[in-house]
Amino acid sequence: MYVVNALRLGRITRFAAPLVALLLLLFWLDWRYPLPQPYPDGPATVVTARDGQQLRAFSDDQGVHRYQVTLADVDPFYLTALLDYEDRWFYYHPGVNPLALCRALWQWLAHGRVISGGSTLSMQVARLLDPHERSIPGKLKQIFRAVQLEWHYSKSEILTLYLNLAPFGGNIEGVEAASRRYFNKPAKSLSINQSALLVVLPQKPSHNRPDRYPERAWAMRNKVLRRLADSQLVNAEQLALLSQEPVRLSAPSQPPLAPLLSRRLKRQHPTSHVIRTTLDHDLQQRLSQLLANTKQRLTGKSSAAVLIVDNQQAEVLAYQGSVDFSDDSRFAHVDMIRAIRSPGSTLKPFIYGLGLDLGLIHSQSLMSDIPSDFDGYKPQNLNGRFSGAVSVTKALQHSLNVPAIQLLHRIGAARFEQQLSHAKVQLHHQDANLAVGLGGTGIELIELARLYRALASQGQVQDLSLVENDPRYPRPVFSLLSPAASWITFEMLSQLSAPDRVIPSNRRKIAWKTGTSYGYRDFWSVGVSADYTVAVWVGRPDASPVVGYLGATRAAPLMFDVFDLLPADTHSLPRPAQVEPVQICWPGGLARQDTPDSACHTQLTAYTLNGMTPPTMHSQGSFVTEPGWPAELASWQARNNAPVKQPDHTQIRIAAPRSGQHYYRQQVSAIPLSVSGIGSEQAEAVRWYVNHAPHDSTTLALSEYQGKVVITACVAQQCDQQHIVVHP
């Protein structure tokens, strides 16, 4: 028995020893010659919309375009056809199919040339990862790499590598990039004929390219169809019909969408193959078209930038960093959403919001729009005039400078900036100062949109997400204003009528504010509804001035056009319980019930926080404690014969001329310009613009114009616009 067992052990040892040696050799070879990385020249990054549609594609370091996909992203019939035509035993062999290799060798010996390759899909992937010469040593190397692949990767992973690395002609690799290049559709939507063509194309991609050699491509596609028919994957009737169909291509013709954002994300994620953004593809496409139309109305070198935000999710839905990416004369490659520019008056709402939270004002507090000196800083209104006694609401709606600085001086510039800093809102300047309230700082458009979104988000500021599955999620939330103060600020801004607007396609309540930077270099308009925030910048990226533009006349109309692209809001902004309407009296600013009849010169309904009615402030910010008007305001009004009266809620309108009217210079040499809807004391403050250039007269000489003429009238921040046609 001992002898028998010893003999058996000897036989096992004789057979096992070579096997162990072979395994050790394979381990050593695998360690000594590791598999090459699949993408040695870096990723060919594709930036997509939230639904996977391509926005912009970037090649790898060798200029190759690729769109990385998984098995689930490809049409199932294509996968079935690929395995049937290339490697039926893919899921069963260890990387090499000995029968296929023997058949290929026999055919080569019998015919003197290669009839079939005998390579499995694993071997093809091995050749793509580590190219080799067509020789016996090269084939042995390919076999080793194929076995090595099977050792390190699953079958699904190997098939996925093939889907992403297979050549399809020119600089196109991978079935997804090929499908989009030749058929302008994702690989998940391939037809039977398209699948058959892409199955065979990697065999000789340059020789059979359908865009260059359609007849060859047609013949090779039909060869695949016949093989599929033999395998009963298509029936005889389908084969007859499909074989007659010509090769139809549909190359993409649309320029890249959101190209500047795509460029930025590519730099931020240099190793990513696919970057899926939060952008809505259809909305981005329509916004791009809107900006292309807008370009025709801009002066030379001018550009525009627009950002659309979903307030509920704090996600960017559309991103247009320049007016036209193909127009270098307008600095097309400068992303003005990320440019640091002076915000003009767009920070004013948050001065008033903070004043509400600090108990310094309510929505109808009496403010003094009079010449003032704040420690050497003497702000002026854009029109160079003063209005005297104004309410907080009117001061904000008309973007009056002195009342805003009056309140900021009382709050303290450092405290205001500290509040913004706590909300992680970044301003760009050296020291805290009052000029910040009028645009004496720098800010990015995306930061401004993030700031304004707080008015529809209970005063909460949150980073805006640009990519799906943001790694920062959940993003931190910072409190800027109380829900009550943000709601009151929203309400004040939403009462301002849209300039030069017909009834919008989707009625919605929009709180909006414009801004014009010093020297007429930047023109802003930011609007907030319950569901969306739209931020617009217009100007010249080189910071040269554009005289005749205003935020109200240039940026605001574009902002409302953008809102018309959006679906109707599905949410609302309910009034917080802390907001109480209270009857108040001027000049004291206190509640009507706390004011004697003799001291109630003007009665207004104010929104307050918890019923608080702080008294009126002096110009320098201290509360008025004695009866009557603030001394500085009373003195100015006496000198200017401007008694306080009930604020009106009128809206400027151009009475003549009216849109659609045609004038012939042979018949009329000049036409008068007049407005309605404002008081006589405001008529002198009307500013006229013709074709967006200042016009100092109330008469328009027709000899200077021909064709379409745009006439704009503005008083404070309210404007109206009419379009006429002048003929010879």
Catalytic residues: 86, 345
Cα angle value 412/418/424 (rounded, 5°): 150
Backbone phi, then psi, for 551, in 5-degree steps? -60, -35
Query: DSSP character for 59?
Result: -
The interaxial angle of helices 348-357 and 483-494, nearest 10 deg, is 140
Q: Which residues contact 716 (CB under 8 A, 6 or more apart)?
A: 383, 387, 397, 398, 399, 400, 685
Q: Compute CA distances 125 → 72, 131, 144, whole Å.
A: 19, 10, 12
Question: What is the helix (H) or strand (E) element at residue 152, kind and residue range?
Answer: helix 136-152
Assign 632 to helix, strand or coil: helix
Listed in sequence order, the residues at least 6 apart from 696 whose beta carbon sits closer than 8 Å to its beta carbon are 688
Longest CA span, the chain: 132
Element (H, E) at 30: helix 2-32
Cβ contact 489:339 at 8 Å: no
Whether residue 148 contacts residue 60, with contact meaning beta carbons closer than 8 Å, is answered with no
Torsion of CA 111, 112, 113, 116, to 10 degrees: 50
Which of 424, 431, 434 lies closest to 401, judged by CA?
A: 434
- Closest among 713, 714, 715, 711 to 723, alpha carbons compared: 711
Tell me the CB-side half-sphere exposure of residue 396, using CA atoms within 13 A.
32
Instruction: Compute φ and ψ for 116, nearest 5 degrees.
Output: -140, 150
Q: Is 649 exposed, middle or buried (0-12, 13-18, 19+ CB in 10 A)?
A: exposed
First to last CA, the chain: 125
The residue length of the chain stands at 728
Distance CA(116)–CA(105), nearest Å, equals: 9
201 is written with which tokens? 């194309």
- Work out whether strand 477-479 and strand 366-369 pair parallel, antiparallel, or are unpaired: unpaired
Q: How far apart are CA 327 and CA 609, in angstroms?
A: 50
Helices in 307-455 by DSSP H: which ranges?
348-357, 392-397, 401-411, 413-422, 445-453
Q: CA separation (Å) from 144 to 34, 114, 123, 312, 418? A: 11, 21, 9, 55, 65
Tell me how far apart the alpha carbons of residues 528 and 454 are, in angstroms, rounded to a whole number: 9
What is the DSSP code (8-state) at residue 254? P
Q: Is 565 helix (H, G, I), strand (E, B) or coil?
A: coil
> For the purposes of burial, counting CB atoms within 10 Å of the CB of 358, is it exposed (0-12), middle (13-18) or buried (19 or more)?
middle
> Token pair for residue 471?
């790694």
For residue 605, the cross-strand partners are: 583
- Identity of the amino acid at 158: I
CB atoms within 10 A of CB 338: 15
